[in-house]
């Protein structure tokens, strides 16, 4: 009997990636929501799960872990997984791991950086809305990232150069979906094709729909 619990918030991109990965991999788990809006992540009980107080985190038979990419590797080991999402083949897994390490300071820095400044900060924290001048540096980073991602897709059509979509694609998708409606991808047809394909995966569709329903309540103007 598995005792895997995923803690997180459905609006958090790394939480979504973790949930989608566990679901796609058929790793049995239960989801325990943690509400960032009411700062439940700062509570005593959650600080015992992760001292860093961020989502996602997991507990598994008394062991706790945080950082979405580390959670993917742990869950794969704990459940002895060998699927297209995180194959055991050491070269494929090596490339996926390389992407997951790169993800945080590149994909997430560019895309979540823009999403936070454009949507989150003005809606939730009362920050001044971006104007053409203050938005420009964020868009520059997003476009530089789109150029790099187009180059990455050129190898096989997928993020980590795998023959089929992997968890690396799931991580990218969840960052990109936050800003998809507010960026122009006309110059990036390969990214559009990839985005539409990944968005058709059942678990991706299901969790994205759930997240959109919650987002509509939290960000009614967007």
Ligand X SMILES: N[C@@H](CCC(=O)N[C@@H](CS)C(=O)NCC(=O)O)C(=O)O
Residues that bind ligand X (CB under 6 A): 12-14, 36, 41, 53-56, 67-68, 104
Query: In this structure, what is the dihedral angle of CA atoms 21, 45, 104, 82, given to the nearest 10 degrees?
Result: -30
42 vs 184, beta carbon nearer ligand X: 42
CB of 216 to ligand X, least distance (A): 18
Which is nearest to 5 in space by CA: 50, 59, 66, 47?
59
CA distance 20 to 22: 6
19 vs 188, beta carbon nearer ligand X: 19
97 vs 188, beta carbon nearer ligand X: 97
End-to-end CA distance of the chain: give it in Å, rounded. 42
CA distance 78 to 4: 10
CB of 160 to ligand X, least distance (A): 17
113 vs 157, beta carbon nearer ligand X: 113
CB of 201 to ligand X, least distance (A): 20
Whether omega for the bond prior to residue 56 falls within 30 degrees of 0, making it cis, is: yes
120 vs 157, beta carbon nearer ligand X: 120
CB of 142 to ligand X, least distance (A): 18
Vertex 191: Cα angle to 18 and 193 (nearest 5): 95
CB of 132 to ligand X, least distance (A): 27
CA distance 72 to 17: 9
């Amino acid at each position: 009997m598995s005792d895997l619990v995923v803690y997180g918030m459905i609006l958090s991109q790394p939480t979504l990636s973790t949930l989608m990965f566990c679901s796609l991999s058929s790793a049995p788990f239960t989801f325990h929501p943690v509400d960032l809006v009411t700062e439940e992540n700062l509570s005593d009980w959650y600080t015992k799960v992760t001292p860093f107080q961020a989502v996602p985190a997991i507990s598994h038979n008394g062991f706790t872990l945080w950082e979405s990419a580390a959670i993917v590797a742990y869950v794969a080991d704990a459940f002895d997984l060998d699927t297209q999402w995180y194959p055991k083949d050491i070269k494929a897994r090596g490339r996926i791991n390389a992407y997951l390490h790169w993800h945080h300071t590149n994909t997430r820095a560019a895309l979540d950086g823009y999403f936070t400044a454009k949507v989150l900060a003005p809606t939730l924290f009362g920050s001044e809305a971006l104007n053409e001048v203050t938005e420009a540096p964020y868009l520059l980073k997003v476009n530089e990232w789109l150029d790099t991602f187009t180059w990455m897709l050129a190898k096989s059509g997928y993020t980590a150069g795998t023959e089929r979509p992997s968890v690396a694609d799931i991580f990218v998708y969840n960052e990109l979906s936050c800003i998809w409606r507010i960026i122009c991808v006309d110059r990036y047809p390969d990214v559009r094709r990839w985005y539409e394909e990944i968005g058709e995966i059942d678990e991706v569709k299901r969790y994205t729909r759930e997240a959109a329903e919650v987002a509509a309540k939290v960000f009614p103007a967007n």
